[in-house]
């Protein structure tokens, strides 16, 4: 994948990637998901609001399961490991 003239390594570990490029790649991935599997916008935002209040949220990741909460929340069939949503 190429963005703004920069190539993204498809076989890199997180620690080897530029932090900004990694998170941009994550957001691009979310934006490119098939709409049939995505939660609607209101549900997605409601889920993120719950996560923002949770003590297990740290730097965008859930310490309970290790996921990036934005990625877990955008998939309609996913749930919170603590059943908060």
* Cα–Cα dist 45/27, whole Å: 15
H or E element, residue 57: strand 57-58
* H helix runs in 1-85, sequence order: 19-31, 41-53, 69-74
Q: What share of the chain is helix, strand, coil (3-state, %, to 5)?
A: 40, 15, 45
CB atoms inside a 10 Å sphere around CB 51: 19
**pTM, whole model, 2 decimals?**
0.77
pLDDT tens column, 7-41: 556 667 767 777 788 888 889 999 999 999 999 99
């Amino acid at each position: 994948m190429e963005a703004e003239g920069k190539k993204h390594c498809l076989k890199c570990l997180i620690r080897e990637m530029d932090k900004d490029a990694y998170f941009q790649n994550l957001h691009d991935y979310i934006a490119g998901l098939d709409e049939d599997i995505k939660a609607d916008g209101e549900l997605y935002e409601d889920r993120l609001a719950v996560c923002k209040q949770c003590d297990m949220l740290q730097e965008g990741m859930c310490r309970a399961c290790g996921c990036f909460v934005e990625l877990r929340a955008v998939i309609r069939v996913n749930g919170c490991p603590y059943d908060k949503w």
